[in-house]
Amino acid sequence: MESLTLQILAVVISGLALGLNILLGLFVRSLDRKTSKIDTMERELDAKTGATVDLKLAGVIGQVTAVMTQIGERVHSIEERLQGGDHRFALLADKDHSLEIKVLQAISELKDVVATKDDLNRLREEMRRNG
């Protein structure tokens, strides 16, 4: 009888072990499905996030490009104005030099016409002698 009890006990334990193995297998399979679903969701999220980041980055790049174009246009405009100013400055420098020469010539001519202090003193002396 003891052996029969042991055999029944062994069958019951084997049945329990089989039942636990089946439950554990079902649990692992369910866990595997959930893990697979989570992995799929993560890949989809990564793809959507990447697309969103790419879209926003493209927008920022577009804005930066527009600003850089405006800056380039302004710099070009300033360069043109500076070149025009350089030309105008050169014309004014030539005109200034021409006027300076004319003023020096006029001063030279005035020196010939205007009497100096020494000339006036000599004239006074001559008038005293003659006078």
pTM greater than 0.75: no
pLDDT digits (tens, 9 = 90+) for 66-90: 999 999 999 999 999 888 888 888 8
Which is it for the CA torsion 92, 98, 102, 105, positive or negative? Answer: positive
Which pLDDT score is estimated for 60? 92
Which pLDDT score is estimated for 115? 67
Which pLDDT score is estimated for 124? 86
Which pLDDT score is estimated for 49? 87
pLDDT digits (tens, 9 = 90+) for 29-69: 999 999 999 999 999 988 888 888 888 999 999 999 999 99
CA distance linking residue 34 with residue 42, whole number of Å:
12
Which pLDDT score is estimated for 28? 93
Which pLDDT score is estimated for 67? 94
Looking at the chain, the number of H-run helices and the number of E-run strands are 2, 0
State the average pLDDT over residues 11-32.
92
66-81 b/e (C-beta count within 10 Å ≥ 16 → b): eeeeeeeeeeeeeeee
- If you search the block for the tokens 């380039």, which residue do you land on? 72
Distances (CA, A) of 118 to 71, 93, 110, 111: 68, 38, 16, 13
Burial class (CB in 10 A: 0-12, 13-18, 19+), 112: exposed
